[in-house]
Structure 1
Amino acid sequence: MSLDELTEQVESTYADIDDEQSVSLDRETRHELAMLSAAFGTGETDELLRRAVHLLFQTTVDRGTLDFHLRQEHDVTYDEYLSGMTYDEMTGQDQYPQRDDERRYQMD
Structure 2
Amino acid sequence: MSLDDLDDAITAEYGDLDDEIAVDFDRETKHELSLLAAALGTDRDELIRRGIHALFRRTLDTGDLDFHLRQAFDVTYDEYLSGMTYDEMTGGADGTGGAGGYPERSDERRYQQ
Which bracket does the TM-score occupy, shorter chain normalised?
0.7 to 0.9
For residue 20 of structure 2, what is the aligned residue in structure 1? 20
Query: In 2, Cα distance between the equivalents of 1:10 and 1:78?
Result: 13
TM-score in terms of structure 1 length:
0.84
SS of 1:49's partner is helix
For residue 108 of structure 2, what is the aligned residue in structure 1? none
Query: In 1, Cα distance between the equivalents of 2:79 and 2:17?
Result: 24
For residue 75 of structure 1, what is the aligned residue in structure 2? 74
TM-score in terms of structure 2 length:
0.80
Counterparts of 1:36-75 in structure 2, within 5 Å, are 36-42=36-42, 44-75=43-74
Uncovered stretches (5+) of structure 1, i.e. residues with no partner: 96-108
Uncovered stretches (5+) of structure 2, i.e. residues with no partner: 95-113
Asked which structure has the greater RCO (Cα within 8 Å, sep 6+), the reply is 1
Shift of 1:15: 1.5
Query: In 1, Cα distance between the equivalents of 2:7 and 2:28?
Result: 34
Structure 1 stretches of 4+ moved >4 Å? none
- Alignment deviations for residues 50-82 of structure 1 (CA, whole Å, 9 cap, x no partner): 000000000111111100010011110000000
For residue 86 of structure 1, what is the aligned residue in structure 2? 85
Which amino acid in structure 2 is aligned with residue 35 of structure 1? L
Query: In 1, Cα distance between the equivalents of 2:89 and 2:69?
Result: 18
Query: In 2, Cα distance between the equivalents of 1:39 and 1:31?
Result: 12
| Percent identity (aligned) | 63
Shift of 1:94: 1.9
Larger radius of gyration: 1
